[in-house]
Each structure stands twice: as C-alpha cells, then as structure tokens.
Amino acid sequence: MKKLLSTKYSQGGFNFSMFILRVTLGVLLTSHGYDKLVHFAEMKGHFFNFLGLGSVVSLCLAIFAEFFCSLFLILGLFTRFAAIPIVIMMGVVVFMVTHGQILGPGERGAIYLAAALTVLFNGPGKISLDSILGK
C-alpha cells in the first residue's frame, strides 16, 4: 500500500507508461485516419476547410496526421516530429471544428490532444525505435 501512495516513480515505469500511451494513441488515431483514407472520395467535398486551404488539402493533411504520423508513433520513430501534426490536427478539431466544447462534441479530440502533447513533451521513452537508434 505504501508503494501505491508514493509520489516516486521508476525509470522503467515511466518508459513503459510512455510506450502504452504512444501505442494506444497511435492505434486509435490510425483507425480514424484509415477511415478517411478509404472514404476519401466521399469526404473530400464536405470536409472542414482549414485556413482556406480547401477541403481536399485539409483532408489530406488530416490523413497525414491521423494515419501516417500515428504509424510513426506506434513504432516510436521520429516520435516528437510525428506528434506535432497530431497536436495541430487535434487543436483544430477541439478549437475550430467543435468550437472548444471539450465537455461535449470535442471531448475525444481533447483527450487525443492531451495525449499527443504528453508524447511531444516527454518523448517516446526507452521502448521505441528512436531510443534503439540513439536519437
């Protein structure tokens, strides 16, 4: 019980937690990105137009962030660079698409944003290709 209430943490516990967070975030976002990739033709006409770039470009950026960057997160390769597009994408979802309603329709995006920010600030941990390759 004493260990459960302790504020100390181990390096192994931290690294395993970052692995779990990184892989979970990557797997969950990959499914969203894959759905957009598969249904590209149906979605391109009515997707959110980010900064006036057009719905097709915005959809391509969303697919890049949610699918390809999520694959890099799962592998732990270029982790911090891969987290940046995800943070931007989830920021757009939370603050522009759902108008900051984090206790309503923007709740899922807010959770993804918090997880991506955690990965961005803390890095991938030792259980990653970045660590193996010495980056």
- pLDDT per residue over 96-126, tens digit each? 988 888 898 889 999 999 999 999 999 999 9
pLDDT in tens, 59-102: 999 999 999 999 999 999 999 999 999 999 999 999 998 888 88
Helices then strands, counting H and E runs in the chain, come out as 7, 0
Given pLDDT bands bounded at 50, 70 and 90, which one contains residue 135? Answer: low
Q: Which residues have C-beta within 8 Å of that of residue 109, sequence separation ≥ 6?
A: 90, 93, 94, 97, 98, 102
Given pLDDT bands bounded at 50, 70 and 90, which one contains residue 51? Answer: confident
Q: Which residues have C-beta within 8 Å of that of residue 3, sequence separation ≥ 6?
A: none
Entry pTM: 0.90
- Calculate the dihedral angle through the C-alpha atoms of 5, 10, 13, 19, rounding to the nearest 10 degrees: 130
